[in-house]
Amino acid sequence: MRTSLFFICLLGVFLCSCGDDIHKGYRAPGYDQVLEKQRILNNTKAVKSINSYDELGCEIYDIPKREEGKAFLDYELGDDQKEGTGSFKLIYNFTGNSTADAPECVYFGQRWGDYRVDLSFYPLGLSIWVKGKKGNKGLFRFIIMEDEKQFNADAPHDYTRKRWSYFAYEDAEVLSKEGWNRIIMPYSAFKLYRKGEGTTSNELLMNRNEGFRIEIENTTNEACGGEFQIDNLEQLTSYELKAGKPKFSSIFIQLNKEAYENEDWDQQFQDSRAVGIDTWIIQYSEQFTGNDDDTNVSFYKNTNLPWVQVKCDIIDKMFEAAERNGMNIILGLYPGDYSKTNTADPTKYNTNLERNKMLFDEVYEQFGNNPCLVGWYITEEFHDGSYPVGWQQEPALSMLAKYLEGVASYIKQKSDKPVSIAPALWRGMPADLCGEWFGRIFAQTPNIDYLYLQDIGGRCLVDFDVDLPNWYAEIKKACDANGVKFGVDIESFKSCNCPNIGYKAKDWSELKEQLFVAGLFTEYITNFSWVTFKKGTNNYAGYKQYLEDNGLL
């Protein structure tokens, strides 16, 4: 499930104390919130949907059991929607047991993990649709939760939330308004609601947010209940994508014996050259088809590696056809994997390193001097996220870097061809910290030449216009500072858990947007993969027409 693989959202309700640290002054002297909201609407360009509230089953919802005699909140799918295919209905009940210092409150919240939101990108504000009901009582409060010290070396996460600061926007009327009403929430209107322990800043740090919550406060001290619906929480930005005329510089292919053993590579390469792509990246030279290191296949025939059980000559035939068709090949090596339980354990790194060396020696002997070989690819993919363990902190980060450099430096002892890697962008950290994280890796990997950053754009987990340019810019800084060429690996497939979309080739209209964003940062743009881009797909035809229309062929 997407929820178990990528990030954890915590949705909860509780009786909260609203004490002396609450600030009711949400309008500073001279501040006109009406004009500010209009300014935001006038300047909004790129918009990210943070949560569409279309399906209950797409996230993990954690709501404590109701306690007798206390306020509660529950949720379910709404009976209509403003946008998309669904909405959430929030049902709340107050007992009337408020005090002046502790009014009854219930809340509904979401916390980021991997695939997080970074509000600092061309920031304007947030927007959410609310459908109230006549007679509802209570104050609507939207809170941004942030941790000024998140991802620090001593304590990357504060699971107690004691060091979190809360910034709030209030609306006293929307819960009782019938029909759908859009609340525009300027960041400038959020005021400090509760300051975290050890926090120095009193200002909203939009790139250190941990999530949000919607809080309903009983302002009447009466026993009462109500219900309202919410739809489509959005991040509003002033960013406007101004596309150039980028092209794909290469394409990935993921080999398997059944699909490609009898392939006509001359025809495939001719189709590739017909859309200006003359470089293919072979993802790996072997494939494991069983558990862990069992039952594996070699895609080149002359191998004596002890773990190989099945041999075929796919790569041999690809090099032969590449020579006939003027194609270039970047050859991937050993298809290993990292530990799923402990990335600070050297065992997997050591195994992968030794097997990469053994495999490289074989393929270099056979293909190293082939004129079509233009580079090498370290197959094992990593990411910046935390699931299931990740490499965000030491010593795992440096162990990963040492492994990558071990493979790359071994390659460079024999070959002067560049070495590439293609980690996935999981947005496990805010964009600026993610860039710094890559910088710490690259400082230890001088023999890595190219980064092809997977945009994960085929998995319904990223906004192309808001997320990608934000993280691209910061990671490119790390590449530039360390002599690594920044590239992007665009996913031309679509396969999502929420909404449920089976694996397929995506349409050109969507792929084009990914290409345009990548083109703002690099000319090194690859595509994963040929099977969802080859001749006969909508995106192949659309891309070819795009090239012809812009004189790029």
What CATH number is attached to the domain comprising 437? 3.20.20.80
412 φ, ψ to 5°? -70, -15
Range of weakest confidence among 51-55, 415-419, 516-520: 51-55
Residues 361 and 337 in one domain: yes
Residues 425 and 493 in one domain: yes
pLDDT score of 496 more than 70: yes
Task: Identify the pLDDT of residue 3.
Answer: 35
456 burial class (0-12, 13-18, 19+ CB within 10 angstroms)?
Answer: buried
Residues 461 and 517 in one domain: yes
Each residue of 11-25: pLDDT tens digit?
A: 444 444 443 332 333
Instruction: Decide if 28 is inside a domain.
Output: no
Instruction: Decide if 204 is inside a domain.
Output: yes
**pLDDT mean across residues, the chain:** 92
CA 373 to chain centre: 32
285 φ, ψ to 5°? -90, -10
Instruction: Decide if 373 is inside a domain.
Output: yes
433 φ, ψ to 5°? -70, -35
What does the alpha-carbon distance between residue 349 and residue 404 come to, in Å, rounded to a whole number? 9
Q: How confident is the model at residue 550 (pLDDT cuts 50, 70, 90)?
A: very high
Q: Residues with Cβ < 8 Å from 375, sequence gap 6 or more?
A: 330, 331, 417, 418, 419, 420, 449, 450
Instruction: Decide if 106 is inside a domain.
Output: yes
List 527's β-bridge partners, or say none: 490
Q: Residues with Cβ < 8 Å from 155, sequence gap 6 or more?
A: 149
Q: How confident is the model at residue 493 (pLDDT cuts 50, 70, 90)?
A: very high
CA 72 to chain centre: 34
Task: Output the six-digit token pair for 365.
Answer: 């002997």
Q: Which residue has the tokens 């990108």?
A: 121
pLDDT score of 386 more than 60: yes
List 402's β-bridge partners, or say none: none
Domain final position from 237, 261, 276: 237
Task: Identify the pLDDT of residue 64.
Answer: 57
Instruction: Decide if 34 is inside a domain.
Output: no
Q: Residues with Cβ < 8 Å from 396, sequence gap 6 or more?
A: 343, 344, 389, 390
Each residue of 362-374: pLDDT tens digit?
A: 999 999 999 999 9
Residues 210 and 254 in one domain: no
Residues 277 and 401 in one domain: yes
In the predicted model, what is the mean pLDDT of residues 122-131? 98
Task: Identify the pLDDT of residue 90.
Answer: 95
Instruction: Decide if 30 is inside a domain.
Output: no
Each residue of 67-90: pLDDT tens digit?
A: 888 999 999 999 899 999 999 999
Determine contact, residues 228/504, Cβ cutoff 8 Å.
no
Each residue of 305-331: pLDDT tens digit?
A: 999 999 999 999 999 999 999 999 999
Residues 229 and 269 in one domain: no
Q: How confident is the model at residue 295 (pLDDT cuts 50, 70, 90)?
A: low
Q: How confident is the model at residue 209 (pLDDT cuts 50, 70, 90)?
A: very high
- The helix (run of H) or strand (run of E) holding residue 210 is strand 209-217
Instruction: Decide if 433 is inside a domain.
Output: yes
Each residue of 439-478: pLDDT tens digit?
A: 999 999 999 999 999 999 999 999 999 999 999 999 999 9
Residues 332 and 401 in one domain: yes
Task: Identify the pLDDT of residue 61.
Answer: 64
Residues 49 and 87 in one domain: yes
Task: Identify the pLDDT of residue 154.
Answer: 87
What does the alpha-carbon distance between residue 120 and residue 244 come to, in Å, rounded to a whole number? 25
CA 108 to chain centre: 24
Residues 186 and 290 in one domain: no
Instruction: Tell whether pTM > 0.85.
Output: yes
Domain final position from 179, 207, 237: 237
Residue 552: name the closest of 519, 506, 521 by CA.
Answer: 519
Question: Which phi-psi region, left, alpha or beta, contains residue 236 (left: φ > 0; alpha: ψ -120 to 50)?
Answer: beta
List 282's β-bridge partners, or say none: 253, 331
Q: Residues with Cβ < 8 Å from 228, sequence gap 6 or more?
A: 89, 90, 130, 131, 132, 133, 136, 175
Task: Identify the pLDDT of residue 9.
Answer: 41
Determine contact, residues 455/507, Cβ cutoff 8 Å.
no
Q: What is the dihedral of CA 174, 176, 181, 184, to 10 degrees?
A: 0
Q: How many domains does the chain have?
A: 2
What does the alpha-carbon distance between residue 334 and residue 332 come to, in Å, rounded to a whole number? 7
Residues 203 and 267 in one domain: no
Neighbours of 355 (CB within 10 A): 20
Task: Identify the pLDDT of residue 290.
Answer: 67
Task: Output the six-digit token pair for 448.
Answer: 């890595």
What does the alpha-carbon distance between residue 191 and residue 26 come to, in Å, rounded to a whole number? 6
- Residue 377 structural domain: 250-550
Task: Output the six-digit token pair for 422.
Answer: 């293609």
In the predicted model, what is the mean pLDDT of residues 511-520? 98
Domain CATH code at residue 133? 2.60.120.430
Q: Residues with Cβ < 8 Å from 56, sequence gap 6 or more?
A: 76, 77, 88
pLDDT score of 65 more than 90: no
Q: Residues with Cβ < 8 Å from 49, sequence gap 6 or more?
A: 232, 233, 234, 463
Instruction: Decide if 342 is inside a domain.
Output: yes
